[in-house]
């Protein structure tokens, strides 16, 4: 019998989730080609960041450029972008039948954890199958397991949470706010992007007039 959860959903199989709940807290597997990065976007100001998809890139800076082009074309679809290497995201098991993952997180997960100094961690919740993980906040913890335990106290919700992603804040490249707006402010004079500036109607009228001469 496999040590990992076997599912008809290939996205679940890629995560290598333990078949039984335990104290292990595996990394999210990277894909092929370039290094895989997860992309989070903020759809509107004051809205939580949500997972939007992945990009493949050789570096995190290139990953941001690819993410910007793919998920925020011309700055109209979001107000900020975060990218993080897939290997730097830790995932909890995924629950079934409406169970809350926080019910399976107890202080015993710290018994075999490698604890260090306090660092800031970002917490993301999956609230419903078929939806994307959404950012719920950050906290200080000594390790990923500690961040899960503290998230249980700080971010538990009334409805069940199916899955949790955790990443160290320092591992995320965040471009947001005015910095994100400035990226698109460099394009105001490129009128060729707008169809109306081709003046197609005027050219057609001119052509017809010349043909009548």
Report pLDDT digits (tens) over 151-199: 999 999 999 999 999 999 999 999 887 777 776 665 555 554 555 555 6
- What values do phi and psi take at 184, rounded to 5? -90, -20
More confident residue, 94 or 10: 94
Report the pLDDT value the prediction gives residue 28, as an integer from 0 to 100: 58
Query: What mean pLDDT do residues 82-102 have?
Result: 92
% the chain with pLDDT above 70:
73
Report the pLDDT value the prediction gives residue 119, as an integer from 0 to 100: 97
- Assess if residue 195 is contained within a domain: yes
- Assess if residue 137 is contained within a domain: yes
- Assess if residue 5 is contained within a domain: no
Q: State yes or no: pLDDT of 35 exceeds 70.
A: yes
- Assess if residue 81 is contained within a domain: yes
Highest mean pLDDT among 11-15, 128-132, 190-194: 128-132
Query: What mean pLDDT do residues 29-50 have?
Result: 83
Domain span at residue 203 reads 10-212
Highest mean pLDDT among 13-17, 20-24, 184-188: 13-17
- Assess if residue 30 is contained within a domain: yes
pTM of the model: 0.71
Query: What mean pLDDT do residues 99-111 have?
Result: 93
Query: What mean pLDDT do residues 76-86 have?
Result: 85
Q: How many domains does the chain have?
A: 1
- Assess if residue 38 is contained within a domain: yes
- Assess if residue 172 is contained within a domain: yes
- Assess if residue 62 is contained within a domain: yes
Report the pLDDT value the prediction gives residue 107, as an integer from 0 to 100: 93
Report the pLDDT value the prediction gives residue 69, as an integer from 0 to 100: 85
Place of tokens 């390790």: 143
Query: What mean pLDDT do residues 84-89 have?
Result: 96
Residues with Cβ within 8 Å of 196's Cβ and at least 6 positions away in sequence, in order, are: none
């Amino acid at each position: 019998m496999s040590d990992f959860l076997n599912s008809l959903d290939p996205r679940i199989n890629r995560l290598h989730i333990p078949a039984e709940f335990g104290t292990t807290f595996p990394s999210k597997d990277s894909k092929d080609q370039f290094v895989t990065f997860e992309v989070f976007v903020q759809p509107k100001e004051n809205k939580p960041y949500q997972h939007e998809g992945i990009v493949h890139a050789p570096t995190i800076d290139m990953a941001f450029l690819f993410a910007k082009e793919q998920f925020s074309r011309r700055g109209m679809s979001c107000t900020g972008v975060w990218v993080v290497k897939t290997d730097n995201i830790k995932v909890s098991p995924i629950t079934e039948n409406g169970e809350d993952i926080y019910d399976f997180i107890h202080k015993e997960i710290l018994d075999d954890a490698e604890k260090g100094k306090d660092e800031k961690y970002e917490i993301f919740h999956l609230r419903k199958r078929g939806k994307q993980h959404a950012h719920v906040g950050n906290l200080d913890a000594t390790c990923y397991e500690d961040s899960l335990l503290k998230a249980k106290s700080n971010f538990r919700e009334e409805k069940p949470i199916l899955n949790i992603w955790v990443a160290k804040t320092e591992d995320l490249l965040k471009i947001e706010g005015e910095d994100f707006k400035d990226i698109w402010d460099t394009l105001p004079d490129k009128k060729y992007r707008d169809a109306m500036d081709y003046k197609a109607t005027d050219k057609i009228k001119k052509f017809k007039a010349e043909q009548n001469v």
